[in-house]
Structure 1
Amino acid sequence: MHAERESSSTRRVKIRRSDAGWRALVFSLCAACLAATLSAQAGRRAHPTSEASSALNVVATRANGATAPITSKDISLFDNGVEQTIKNFAPDLSPARIVLLVDNSLTIRADVEKLEAATREFAYEIYDGDKLLIVGYDNNAEIVSDWTDNAKKIETELKAFRKKGDPHLFDAVLAVVEDALRPLSAQKRAIVVVSDGLDRGSKTNFKQALSALQSLDITVYCVQAQDRTRGAIRRDVPKPRQVIDDLAEGTGGRIFPIDDPRAAANAICDELRKNRYVLSYLPQSVPYSEARRLLVMGNEGINARAKTMQPP
């Protein structure tokens, strides 16, 4: 159930209040830590066998808006170009853990009030059981509001937003993945990036950030601000718009404009609760030691999305 909105200055919230206290925490990354993290990931990954089942998060809807359940007969999966046999395809109605990752850097083309609005709407759209973690980033990524479903608490703590420093987006993405979402392996996980996609100064490169998301099958939704670079070519890094496109497409997410945050929050929260499925299959005839292209397709009248790559 969504939180109830009131037109007065006091808003009554029906979702369960969190008892967890607020804590401030700064995520910081350095080159040595990054190398250690990536090495540890590789070391922990067991080599799959022909009997190892793989799971894939899928968003599936009917083009005509009908709510009838979608089954494995409506979906096709190709792993590295080879069509796979789907073992199971079931709705995932579990609660979500959603990180709102908000660009607080000095030059973003959105004022603090707009950033607050883009974030606040999610507090009133989440469903029972969902929780939000709000992280603002510039040169560092800092928790603004710890995991909670308490909308009033979130509204109060959003006053900590400020604009300063440079946007270390890729560092912030990797920090959130490793420190906040990796421990929640049994949970439905998503990140909402509120940004224009600009990164300036991260030690992490974009490929590393995207690979970390795809390895854990974490969906990224983007609430897109106006491009502060106006499309200028940047050496050695993708353009901001390309970052936004690739984050969403590469993880099975979507992009929304920052000018209508209520519509974005409503669509994202509804999708995570109503249109998420878990697909399982036994990968056949695929090279486990290489990155593999994934393609999920729906039959006629079925729209389906999932991450587009499985890192080695």
Structure 2
Amino acid sequence: MFSTLTLGAQQAPKPTAPAVPPQAPPLTVDRDPVRSPDGEQPTSVTGEPLHKEGGEGYVLHTNVEEVVLNATVLEGSQLVQTLKRENFQVFEDGVKQNIISFQHTDLPVSIGLVVDNSGSMSKKRPAVNKAALDLVEASNPEDEAFVVNFSDEAYIDQEFTSNVNKLRDGLSHIESRGGTALYDAVVASADKLVADAKRPKQVLVLITDGEDNASTLTLDQTIRRVQELSGPVIYTIGLLFGDEMSHAEVRHARRALDLLSNETGGIAFFPKSMEQVDEIAAEVARDIRSQYTIGYHSSKPTSEPGFRRVNVTAEAQGMGRMTVRTRTGYFPATRVAKKPAQRK
């Protein structure tokens, strides 16, 4: 399992193969820091470096037996929730695919609440915790969630539960100190979702007020690891207002959060004040519960390797131009994530 990366004030990540990283911390229970037991390099399933296809976006990996897409449809800025299967078209590498499954129901979700606990967050945590709990309470009652608080290390402070009081207790571990190992927390949390989640639909909600300055992997490696796990969808909330950061630091932090969200089918939010965070949490809950789930079998043989670009369009009589937000593609294979180690 992997759980770290560094961006700091670097330039935009380069699509090159990274050096083998050191062992990185896995999610463990009872305030034990995240540790990676295997020290394994987060390579792509094809052995290729993380890259952008045609300069348009990072790619995701999934099992080719059935490609499942969680899609949000917008007409302008308004969610569209009245579409049928026949309103959608799915293309893989430009070839129209046959949709074999379609749902537009409020499916239960496994959610990771991943919250920055670094020193700069001390005064922001009460409002952040309230927003995170409001998000859970606005979600499907059959959802399950876990809590990860991170500074220079990532800790799981509440295992999967549907009990809001237990999640509140997990979020109450406020020890705001140290740096920001954001990428460590993202990757360890994604690994945990694949290893332990009961729901096939999986989401990370990441809340931070800065750029990564304490991880051991790069942004490229983080995105690649999430891709190898076929998700989850990542929603990010960047509390980048105030004068604690330079313009360059804000720009780098914003770009990293945009990439984490956009390439997984999520959204990056950048409120201008703490008063907006609760409203954003409600929007995230609404977005999750309003998605269409579309499945198809690829027209390509399973044995054919390589990246497969996915594009989804939607049209309906009487509707204007609609945009569909979902992941951008996949590789026809994946590795199974190892379960997080428990500290003895």
- Is TM (by shorter chain) over 0.5? yes
1:304 to 324, 338, 343: 324
Contact persistence 1:96–1:130 (CA under 8 A): yes
1:26 to 14, 25, 33: 33
2:237 is aligned with 1:223: yes
Q: Once structures 1 and 2 are overlaid, which stretch shifts more, 296-305 or 57-66?
A: 57-66
Contact persistence 1:29–1:171 (CA under 8 A): no
Matches within 5 A, 1:1-312: 23-29=30-36, 33-35=39-41, 38=43, 52-61=65-74, 67-68=81-82, 70-108=83-121, 111-184=124-197, 186-196=199-209, 198-215=211-228, 216-226=230-240, 228-232=244-248, 239-256=252-269, 257=271, 259-284=275-300, 288-299=304-315, 300-311=320-331
Contact persistence 1:86–1:279 (CA under 8 A): yes
Partners of 1:120 and 1:88 in 2: CA distance: 32
1:4-48 residue CA offsets vs partner (Å, 9 max, x unmatched): xxxxxxxxxxxxxxxxxx844431248x6242x648997xx9995
Partners of 1:109 and 1:244 in 2: CA distance: 21
Distance 1:210 1:311, change over 3 A: farther
Partners of 1:286 and 1:172 in 2: CA distance: 33
Distance 1:46 1:131, change over 3 A: closer
Partners of 2:168 and 2:46 in 1: CA distance: 36
SS at match of 2:259: helix
Partners of 2:302 and 2:149 in 1: CA distance: 39
Specify which structure has the higher proportion of helix: 1
Over the residues paired in the alignment, what is the CA RMSD in angstroms? 3.4
Contact persistence 2:72–2:79 (CA under 8 A): no
| CA drift at 1:95 | 0.8
SS at match of 1:164: coil
Partners of 2:121 and 2:268 in 1: CA distance: 18
Distance 1:170 1:38, change over 3 A: same
Distance 1:292 1:107, change over 3 A: farther
SS at match of 1:232: helix
Distance 1:46 1:104, change over 3 A: closer
SS at match of 1:26: coil
Q: Which runs of 5+ in 1 are unaligned?
A: 1-21
Which letter does structure 1 place at the counterpart of 2:213? Answer: R
Partners of 2:198 and 2:164 in 1: CA distance: 25
Partners of 2:155 and 2:234 in 1: CA distance: 19
Q: Which runs of 5+ in 2 are unaligned?
A: 1-28, 48-60, 333-344
1:74-102 residue CA offsets vs partner (Å, 9 max, x unmatched): 22333334443433332253211111111
SS at match of 1:107: helix
Partners of 2:225 and 2:198 in 1: CA distance: 13
Which letter does structure 2 place at the counterpart of 1:263? Answer: E
SS at match of 1:161: coil
Q: Percent identity?
A: 20
SS at match of 1:200: coil
Contact persistence 2:114–2:204 (CA under 8 A): yes
Which letter does structure 1 place at the counterpart of 2:240? Answer: Q
Partners of 1:118 and 1:46 in 2: CA distance: 32
SS at match of 1:98: strand
Partners of 1:46 and 1:124 in 2: CA distance: 30
Q: Once structures 1 and 2 are overlaid, which stretch shifts more, 200-209 or 76-85?
A: 76-85
Distance 1:280 1:196, change over 3 A: farther
Partners of 2:43 and 2:155 in 1: CA distance: 22
Partners of 1:46 and 1:150 in 2: CA distance: 31
Partners of 2:304 and 2:165 in 1: CA distance: 47
Partners of 2:263 and 2:80 in 1: CA distance: 26
Residue correspondences, number: 280
Distance 1:200 1:75, change over 3 A: same
Partners of 1:40 and 1:302 in 2: CA distance: 33
Structure with the bigger RCO (C-alpha within 8 Å, sep 6+) is 2
Contact persistence 1:211–1:311 (CA under 8 A): no
